[in-house]
């Protein structure tokens, strides 16, 4: 897959963006724990109550690895064989385009095969 050059040109951003209330946003940053001297160990307020649902609530005990295991049918599997370079390249191309692993591609192929059968 080759992307068109035009699609890699940055979008045109209008100059007449709405005026921001910088002071209010700065207050928000301060109240969220951002500081001038953050440093690598800087503290950030735990704002888990807003936006996306928390991945792990603070009081929630961490699930064991066994509990976090995906169902058996979705687990990774080992697929080991020699491929022609052009097939390997094609699989890589699909992986990049779809953001999936090689294992996922093989799973898709099997689904396709099952549909055809």
Partner 1 sequence: MAAFIIACASSKGGCGKTTLAVAIAGVYASNGSSVLLVDADSRKRLQEEWYNPETLSPKIKVISSRVEDVETDVSKNRDVFDVIIIDVEGSANWALAQALQVAHFSLVPSNVSFQDLKDAQKVYNYVESINKESKRYRHCWIVWNRVPTAIRSKEMKATMDEAVTSGLPILTTIHERDAYKAMFSYQTTLDKLREDEAVPSAGKAEQEIAILISAMHEKLEAQAA
Which residues here bind partner 1, judged by CB under 8 A? 1, 3, 5, 7-15, 17-22, 24-26, 28-29, 32-44, 46-48, 50-56, 65, 68-70, 74-79, 92-93, 95-97, 99-103
CB atoms within 10 A of CB 91: 15
State the nearest-atom distance from the C-beta of 32 to partner 1, in Å. Answer: 6
By beta-carbon proximity to partner 1, the closer residue of 26 and 109 is: 26
CA atoms of 61 and 17, how far apart (whole Å): 45
CA neighbours closer than 13 Å in the CB half-sphere of residue 74: 4
Quick one: CA dihedral 42, 45, 46, 48, positive or negative?
Answer: negative
By beta-carbon proximity to partner 1, the closer residue of 45 and 112 is: 45
CA atoms of 47 and 35, how far apart (whole Å): 15
End-to-end CA distance of the chain: 29
State the nearest-atom distance from the C-beta of 116 to partner 1, in Å. Answer: 26
By beta-carbon proximity to partner 1, the closer residue of 14 and 117 is: 14
By beta-carbon proximity to partner 1, the closer residue of 47 and 112 is: 47
């Amino acid at each position: 897959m080759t992307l068109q050059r035009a699609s890699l040109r940055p979008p045109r951003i209008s100059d007449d963006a709405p005026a921001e209330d910088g002071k209010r946003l700065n207050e928000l940053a301060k109240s969220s724990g951002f500081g001038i001297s953050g440093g690598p160990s800087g503290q950030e307020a735990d704002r888990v109550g807003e936006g996306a649902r928390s991945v792990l609530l603070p009081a929630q005990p961490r699930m064991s690895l066994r509990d976090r295991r995906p169902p058996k049918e979705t687990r990774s599997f080992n697929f080991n064989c020699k491929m022609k370079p052009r097939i390997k390249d094609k699989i890589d191309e699909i992986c990049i385009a779809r953001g999936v692993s090689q294992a996922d591609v093989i799973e898709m192929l099997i689904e396709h095969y099952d549909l055809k059968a």
